[in-house]
Structure 1
Amino acid sequence: MANSMYEYVKAFEQPDVLLPNTWIVVRIDGRGFHKFSAKYAFEKPNDRRALDLMNAAAKAVLADLPDIVIAYGISDEYSFVFHRSCALFERRSSKLITTIVSTFTAHFVHQWSNFFPDQPLSVPLPSFDGRAVLYPTVQNLRDYMSWRQVDCHINNLYNTTFWALIQQGGVDAKEAEKELAGSLAADKNEILFSRFKVNYNNEPEIYKKGSIVLRDYELVEPGTASETLDEDSAKTVEQLVLSKTHEERDRKRRAKARVTVLHVDIIKDEFWERRPWLLSNKPGKIPKEP
């Protein structure tokens, strides 16, 4: 592009490159979703249609962006994880955030009618905001994912009990809040079982554990992976950086893998040990078709 007298304005653009060799988590949240869920009469305490729509949009984001390692979603939020070696958009924060938010929102709106066929969207339309957070170690990343899943359990147990008191117990919101104030998990479980014959352990896993979106490779037995990437290993920078050929090969393999949704425990070591590609960023073996 030819230079012009106006080109000086480019100097006002500030660099926003994220720190290298750190895990990037882009977390998006629904804007004004309390009003949005009320407008479309979402079922309480959980609307399976809405959760499945969120998961469908997240799967589409992973399919569009092979650089994403894993995603985790609860309620109206989703966290998308980029490996610490990721160089997508030169690690520019604004590009990563806006790409995730816009892609997710586009698929959410596009697929709305598949899950809410009798409720066409109208203004105000759904929208999401986002932020990027950096985590320097694998343990930091795992602790972040564990935090979100623990939050999912805490919130769902509360909401399940709260709405049982209202819908089945006949109390109003203020009474339910007052009764649950200061209560422990055991107290809520007792309320659900003794009053409403609800065993919380039997609730659907998607509500208790949230949704994990990842690429479907063959699981491995713990301790048998040939190589995993760990901060404590003495790898050099040169060893961490893949050649262009290998990088392109791995991107193609990731693009071929099926994106799937799980509702399992992400806190225990077994989840990560059986899926070494999540931390190594090297694609696993694609399962053979039955």
Structure 2
Amino acid sequence: MANSKYEYVKLFEQPDQLLPNTWVVVRIDGRGFTKFANKYNFEKPNDKRALDLMNAAARQVLIELPDITIAYGVSDEYSFVLHKTCTLFERRASKLVSTVVSTFTAYYIFLWSTYFPETPLTAPLPSFDSRAVCYPSLQNLRDYMSWRQVDCHINNLYNTTFWALIQLGGMSSTEAGEKLSVSLRSNGNGFSKDKNELLYSQFSINYNNEPEIYKKGSVVSRDYELVEPGTHNTASEGESMAELAAQPQSKTQAENDGKRRTKARVVIEHLDIIRDDFWDRRPWLLSNKPGKIPKEP
């Protein structure tokens, strides 16, 4: 490209590389989604169609960006995880964040009619914001994922109780909020137990029987064969596995790994990601090496 007197404007571009050798989480959140949910009459406390749509869009992100190892979603947010050895877009924050959020948003809008066939989208269209955060250790990453899943449980238990008071108990939103607020102030750490008891005693709702997608959120990952639990220790081996994965690969080896990732099915599950068992049975999440693809039944 020929030089021109205007080319000096490139000097205003600043480097935005993310820290090397860190786990990167790109987290997206719906913009103004409370108003958006009301506009399209999302069911309360959970709208399965809306959650399935979020999951379907996230699944497409993993299909199009095989460098993403796992994603976790709840409500109108999703967290996409890149392995610490990943160099996608040279770890440039702007490219990484914009690619993930634009791909997700595009598929959310494209797939809308599949999940809401009788409710066409109208302007303003749904949009999402995003950010990239670096976590230096596996424990940091796991604590982040655990935080999001604990948050899912806390919020869902609250919302389930809040809407039961309104829909089944005949309270106004103000009355329901005040009742839960009083319980919180008076009972402190026992609040979760009290909500469970309230649901069961007043409305015969056993919270433990609520669908797992509501209680645990959604995990999106590639479907490799699970390993036997207890065959390795996540805490002691996780970082060393990452170091081994960071060793330079031959071009052929890198291409083969890419093909195996592309060939693997991307699945959506609703699992406990806090306990060691989840990570122990999926060592490819730690090593960034594709696992063994299950045989077709």
Aligned mates of 2:246, 2:146 — CA distance in 1: 29
Cα distance, 1:239–1:149 mapped onto 2, change above 3 Å: closer
Q: Which amino acid aligns with 2:116?
A: F
Tell me, yes or no, if structure 1 residue 277 matches structure 2 residue 284.
Answer: yes
Distance 1:209 1:232 in 2: 29
Q: Does 2:39 align with 1:32?
A: no
Q: Structure 1 residue 107: deviation in Å?
A: 0.2
Q: Do 1:216 and 1:260's aligned partners in 2 also have CA atoms closer than 8 Å?
A: yes
Q: 1:12 to 1:286 in 2, by over 3 A?
A: same
Is 1:268 aligned to 2:275, yes or no?
Answer: yes
Q: Report deviation, 1:235.
A: 4.7
Partner of 2:227 in structure 1?
220
Contact in 2 for aligned 1:257/1:286 (Cα 8 Å): yes
Q: Is the 8 A contact 2:57 2:108 kept in 1?
A: yes
Q: Secondary structure at the match of 2:238?
A: coil
CA contact (8 A) 2:84 2:242 kept: no
Deviations 1:64-110 (A, max 9, x none): 00000000000000000000001110000000000001000000000
Q: 2:295 is matched with which residue?
A: 288
Could you tell me how far apart the structure 1 residues matched to 2:125 and 2:25 are? 25
Partner amino acid, structure 2, of 1:150: V
Structure with the larger helix share: 2
CA RMSD of aligned residues (A): 1.8
Would the aligned equivalents of 2:85 and 2:246 in 1 still touch at CA under 8 Å? no
For residues 204 and 177 of structure 1, what CA distance do their matches in structure 2 show? 24
The sequence identity of aligned pairs, in percent, is 70
Cα gap change, 1:7/1:220 in structure 2, threshold over 3 Å: closer, same or farther?
same
Tell me whether 1:64 sits opposite 2:64 in the alignment: yes
Give the structure-1-normalised TM-score. 0.96
Structure 1: gaps of 5 or more residues: none
Separation in structure 1 between the aligned mates of residue 21 and residue 246 of structure 2, nearest angstrom = 13
Cα contact 2:55–2:73 (8 A) shared by 1: yes
User: Number of aligned pairs?
Assistant: 289
Task: Find the residue that maps to 1:198 and give its secondary structure.
Answer: coil
Q: Structure 1 residues 257 and 133 mapped into 2: Cα distance closer, same or farther (>3 Å)?
A: same
The residue number in structure 2 matching 1:156 is 156
CA contact (8 A) 2:233 2:280 kept: no
Tell me what 1:231 maps to.
239
Partner amino acid for 2:180?
A: L
Is 1:10 the counterpart of 2:14? The answer is no
> 1:229, 1:280 within 8 Å by CA — same for their partners in 2?
no
Aligned partners of 2:170 and 2:95: how far apart in 1? Answer: 49
Cα deviation code 1:114-150 (max 9, x no counterpart): 0000000000100000000000000000000000000
TM-score when scaled to structure 2? 0.94
CA offset at residue 230 of structure 1? 2.6
State the match for 1:117 in structure 2: 117
> Within 2, Cα distance between the matches of 1:202 and 1:252?
40
Other structure's SS at 1:230 match? helix
Residue 222 of structure 1: CA displacement?
Answer: 2.3
Segments of structure 2 that go 5 or more residues without pairing to the other structure are none
Answer whether contact 2:212 2:270 (CA < 8 A) is retained. yes
* Equivalent residue, structure 1, for 2:215: 208
Greater shift, 116-125 or 220-229, is seen at 220-229
Q: What's the CA shift for 1:192?
A: 0.2
**Distance verdict in 2 for CA 1:153–1:234, change over 3 Å:** closer
Deviation sequence 1:240-282 (CA, Å, 0-9, x none): 3333332221111100000000101000000000000001100
For residue 240 of structure 1, give the secondary structure of its aligned residue in structure 2.
coil
